[in-house]
Amino acid sequence: MKIVFLDKSTVGNVSNLELLEEFGTVSYYDETSPDQTKDRSSGADIIITNKVIIDHKVMDANPDIKLICIAATGMNNVDLEYAAEKGIAVKNVSGYSTHSVTQSTFAMLFTLLNSVPYYDHFVKSGAYSKSKIFTHHGREFTEIKGKTFGIIGLGVIGQSIANIADAFGCKVVYFSTSGKNTNQAYPCLELNELLSTSDIVTIHAPLNEKTNNLIDLNKLKTMKPTALLINAGRGNIVNEQDLAFAIDHKIIAGAALDVYGKEPVQADNPLLNVKNKDSIILVPHIAWASKESREMLIKGIYQNIAEFVEGI
């Protein structure tokens, strides 16, 4: 079979990529622009895409397509209804990044909470060498033990976050963005109650009509001025302009983000220009991407192709 991976660079260097070559000839492209998609998909039986859009125009131009493998969980880059009409199977991969996102969420939280960049700079700048005492109390930090830890979206990743927060001695509460996931081991609160009572709020929800712009300035104003907000879900869940305002006006104490409304983040994104830069941590949509997670992703794609081939 002819297989085309349209944006291989999105998964980085993975040790098990050759698994895909078991099924036929694989053409790898690091990135593919919209005007290149049709030509690069020409004659392909299987298309692998992470973020490259596969719409009706691409499918109509390439009648050989039998399977579209999404190298991610989210499927919004493929016209699923049209694929179904054309008899094209579409498969995604889920569950591969749970441990990576969990670890990364707490890494962002502790970097922010413990002022790690500040203390690192204090030592490396030579300031610590000039100190008259063995320690330095330039930035106060608190423990998360005993704090209320609010989770927006208690799916598989949210539950993993909850377990770790619970182990740290936090009081865990959550908000169900679907309104259906309400029978869990932790208290389920309405959003305003969660925001107003939580010391730490982490977001692990999908982007949809219910979560788009979920956290705007009005919602941020309901939070404690000492609260921290972590977004490891989707960028447009949090209004970036409003969050920048909230950080600079100390409406909340700090925030950390791994995701943005437009990715890569735009040069004019207001979060890049906040005045209180020490109160915000920004990382490039990397929470999902541990070495192990990316290898599990490739294994998941391999399994999806194997199941499809067996069913032919």
263 is annotated as an active-site residue: yes
Which of 85, 190, 263, 292 is an active site residue?
A: 263
Environment class of 7 (CB within 10 Å of its CB; exposed 0-12, middle 13-18, buried 19+): middle
234 is annotated as an active-site residue: yes
Q: Please, which residues have CB within 8 angstroms of residue 170's CB and are 6 or more apart in sequence? A: 144, 145, 146, 147, 148, 149, 200
DSSP three-state, residue 73: coil
Environment class of 132 (CB within 10 Å of its CB; exposed 0-12, middle 13-18, buried 19+): exposed
- Which spans in the chain are helix H? 37-40, 56-61, 80-86, 98-113, 116-124, 156-167, 191-197, 217-221, 240-248, 291-311
136 is annotated as an active-site residue: no
- Give the dihedral sign, CA 173/211/260/34: positive
Which of 204, 234, 240, 294 is an active site residue?
A: 234
Show which residues are catalytic.
234, 263, 285
